[in-house]
Structure 1
Amino acid sequence: MINARDRQAKKLAEEQKRTSELEQKLRDLNKGIQSVQLKARTEKEQKSEREDRVITLTNKIRQLEIQLADRTAKSDINSDLVKKMESDAQNMLQEMNKLKQSNLDLGRQNDELRATCKSLDEELGHVRNALEKKTSTSKQAMTDLLNNYKESEKNSVERAA
Structure 2
Amino acid sequence: MGIHKNAVLTPTGREILVRRVVEEGQRPMSVATAMGVSLRTARKWVSRFRSEGVPGLYNRSSRPHRSPAQTPAALAEQIAVLRRQRRTGGEIAATMGVSRATVFRILGRLGMNRLKSLEPAEPVRRYERAEPGEMIHIDIKKLDASKNPGDEGGALIQ
TM-score range normalised by the length of the shorter chain: under 0.3
In proportion to residue count, which structure has more helix?
1
- Larger Rg over CA atoms: 1
Indicate the structure whose relative CO is greater, using CA pairs within 8 Å and at least 6 residues apart: 2
- TM-score, normalising length from structure 1? 0.16
